[in-house]
A and B are shown apart, each in its own frame.
Chain A
Amino acid sequence: MRVYLTAVRLSLRRYLAYRSSALAGAFTNTVFGCLRALVLIALWKQKPELSGWDQTDAVTYAFVTQGLVTPMGIFMNSTELGPRIRSGDVAVDLYRPVDFQAWWLSLDLGRALGAGMLRTVPPVVVGSLLFPVRLPTSPLPWAEFVVCCGIGYLISFGLRYLASLVAFWTMDERGTASILVAVGMFCSGLIIPLSIVPGTLGAVLLHTPWAAVAQMPINVLLGTQSGGFGYAVAFASVWAVLLLVAGRLVTDAARHKVVVQGG
């Protein structure tokens, strides 16, 4: 267990070493938060109660999603795992006496925590200074929010991990990874809130794993999640378990492939 915590700590430290890069990124997140907020304000001006939100909810959503982009790796189309598979270095990793999936989870978690520190807070703070937002003053919604984010993070890792493993079979995961990023950008509600997408498409979007990465935690924070915290946790947990288990199965298949084919 300790080895994983060490991996988290080292990964976090490494991320924090690139502070100025991260803060430059936080600037961009803030700018995009403002852009999205202005678009949503224009919409909510005409439809003040759209999908059970008011304008303040929508603006809050715009900034918190931008804040979550980096920890959830929504734009990550490359991890360290992909290049290691391509170069064959991964063979060493597969034989280490640590759990392969847990190892990569630990490394990514360190990164996500660092990103959470440096890139989640600034956009939300700046947003709250420039626009009216709805951030709860009592601790309970925040606690619920953090829990949902945690499970959402596991989902995001599960998706990215599976996408990287593709490299074992195709020798290049970048193509699949870019498609996954494009899909993820939309399905996590980064472009527009999923709750305003009408019809069947909207219903489908609310049930993909990506829905639990940003949209649901924010709904819980705003108190607008249908089914409340309980539903959000249950939904997210189901997806998280599915994706992580799938990850283990694919890892075993990959290990088998490496052993049988000599990498």
Chain B
Amino acid sequence: MADTETDDRPYWGPAAYLLLVRMWMRSASQYRVSLVLTTLAQLFTTCLDLIAILVIYTHVQTIAGFTLPETLYLYGTTRLAFGLSDIVASGVEDLPTMIRMGDFDLVLIRPVSSLAQVLADQFTPKRFGKLVTPVLTLGWALHALPVHWTAARIAVCVGTVVCGFVLYCALWVLTGCISFVAVDAQEVANSFTYGSENATEYPLTIFGRPLGLALTFVLPVAFVTWQPSLYVLGHADPFGLPGFLRFASPLAAALLSGLAALAWRGCVRHYRSTGS
């Protein structure tokens, strides 16, 4: 029984995550036909909301003062950010099954971050199908928008997708923690993840002031694309909020990530204290 472990640190989380993702991709590639069809299905599903927007705009020129290219900009950025976060973090959707089957115990006996293991769970390349529609839509919108592209606007546009991605990842983790508290309540998490994505495809104005403020300061999904887009598209804030909020996405992303990390740690501690 040789003990040569001088390196007591856990296997670095992100590296472990990538390692596990590679293994899952190899598992998924065993079922090739199914993979192709489900990827197509994912692609098609992401088109549906787009078709809805297009249909709506056959009847009107603007919604809440936003033209079609502008709404498609909102749609493209939030869908892209969400699609990227889905690829990275939707493993957390398997947490209820892992807990019920006792597989989360197996996670805890490995010298690897539990979050990395859960996020990587059931990784499948079909998720990449969700990127096609938003990329194409965003491309078209950027082309059709009558925006004067300064360096600042381009930076904020890129930052929108990046911060949106981080915000959504944090949201996946945060809502995934629901399974630790109530293992049957996972569908509630869906209303926050998929629901936020759905809500941010349209101008926040349609929610009315109270709900719009809640979506800014309580559940900060307004920072996924709405706030920075007000700057990029040159719109006044219909709720009259201060202008600096348009650049607050990185802060919102950092705060929500911190909250998610704390929540995860707390919930794992709770699991270890109470069993499943």
Contact = CB atoms under 8 A, between A and B. Distances in A.
Interface stretch (A31-39, A217-225, A233-241): A31-39
Interface residues of B, number: 39
B58 A198 contact: yes
B188 interface: yes
Contact of B33 (A27, A39, A170, A186): A170
B104 interface: no
B186 A24 contact: yes
Interface string B42-68: 101100110110011011100110000
Contact of B182 (A20, A46, A50, A183): A20
B59 A191 contact: no
B134 to A, nearest CB: 16
Contacts of A186: 48, 51
Interface in B132-182: 182
B187 A27 contact: yes
B187 A183 contact: no
B48 A196 contact: no
Q: Is the interface of B mostly helix, strand, loop or mixed?
A: helix
Contacts of A179: 37, 40-41, 44
A43 B58 CA distance: 11
| A interface SS class | helix
B187 A21 contact: yes
B33 A175 contact: yes
A35 B55 contact: no
A176 B36 CA distance: 10
B63 A192 contact: no
B29 interface: no
Given A178-B37, A179-B44, A182-B41, A39 B56 contact: yes
Contacts of B36: 175
Given A20-B182, A38-B206, A175-B34, A27 B191 contact: yes
A47 interface: yes
Nearest to A185: B48
Given A20-B185, A28-B187, A32-B191, A42 B206 contact: yes
10 contacts: A28-B188, A38-B208, A43-B59, A174-B34, A175-B33, A178-B37, A178-B41, A181-B41, A183-B44, A185-B45
Closest 9 CB pairs of A and B: A175-B37, A178-B41, A31-B191, A28-B191, A20-B184, A24-B187, A42-B206, A182-B44, A25-B187
Interface of B: 31, 33-38, 40-42, 44-45, 48-49, 51-52, 55-56, 58-60, 63-64, 182, 184-188, 190-191, 195, 198-199, 202, 205-208
Given A178-B38, A179-B40, A198-B58, 6 more contacts: A21-B185, A21-B187, A38-B206, A41-B206, A43-B59, A179-B44
